[in-house]
Amino acid sequence: MSYKSILILTGAGVSAESGLGTFRDKDGIWTKHRLEDVATPQGFARNPELVYDFYNKRRRDLQSAEPNAAHFALAKLESAIQAKGGEFVLVTQNVDDMHEKAGSQNIIHMHGELNSGLCAVCGWRGEWRVDMEAGTPCPNCAHEGLIRPDVVWFGEFPYLMDDIYERLALCDLFVSIGTSGAVYPAADFVREARLAGAHTVELNLEPSENAYVFNDAYYGPATEIVPIWAAKLAG
Ligand code: OAD
């Protein structure tokens, strides 16, 4: 079957085999850190050093990470779909840059990016690949101490939601890859897509919390199942 408008949602599971941890699996990031401390505006206000340390380490780990076969398969699929005149958008909850490194083009980072900084005073957002610390001045307004990771925290609005909902309403294929379906609003995208009449597919290591809402599902490591599924779709 050929689809005209494809929306892919990815989560931490697609980057697990690149050595970047997931959140809720056994040994996941939220088993080692309290999300209230490192992923909320209140946690940042209470203890900015702890938050800087947490994201500095993740940003450093990212610089040496490489995309895996699942990221490459999605980049190849995008080219194949676009060559046939179809639309393709990759919405990721991931703050890593593995999709970019693999060659994907049309990417929405709904939860922000580790390689980006955000000034809490003037709203400046821009590339940031080095450590952040208290006292770091904003490159735009020069205020010190209010540069933060450009990562969406719990209690904040994800980026580009209007764009995403518009595309969900138009897509005829929605595919969720490597996400537990535990975090909203992303966990609800499958329902939006179904309301719009799209065919929905889940690719994950195991059934997600939303598994029952999908039309089709394939389970296994992303590096094995995504290339097979993508090659079949690309024809
Ligand atoms: P989770 O850690 O909640 O879920 C990862 C999913 O990937 C699980 O369902 C795993 O079974 C699956 N998985 C693990 N290894 C895999 C592999 N090799 N191949 C395929 N699937 C695999 O991560 P997310 O769903 O991405 O938000 O979490 C969503 C959001 O919660 C994150 O963006 C982050 C987090 O708190 C913020 O920090 C705002």
Tell me the pTM.
0.97
pLDDT at residue number 17: 98
Running along the chain, 235 residues long, what does each successive block of 10 average in pLDDT?
93 97 92 96 96 97 96 98 96 98 98 97 95 92 90 97 98 98 96 97 97 98 98 93
User: For ligand 1, atom 2, which residue shows the shortest CA distance?
Assistant: 23
Q: How close is the Cα of 28 to the center of ligand 1, in Å?
A: 9
Ligand 1 atom nearest residue 70's Cα: 19
pLDDT at residue number 2: 84
Dihedral through CA 222, CA 91, CA 89, CA 126, nearest 10? Answer: -120
User: For ligand 1, atom 30, which residue shows the shortest CA distance?
Assistant: 183
Pocket of ligand 1, beta carbon within 6 A: 11-13, 16-17, 22-25, 28, 39, 93, 111, 152, 178-180, 182-183, 204-206, 208, 221-222
Q: How close is the Cα of 12 to the center of ligand 1, in Å?
A: 4
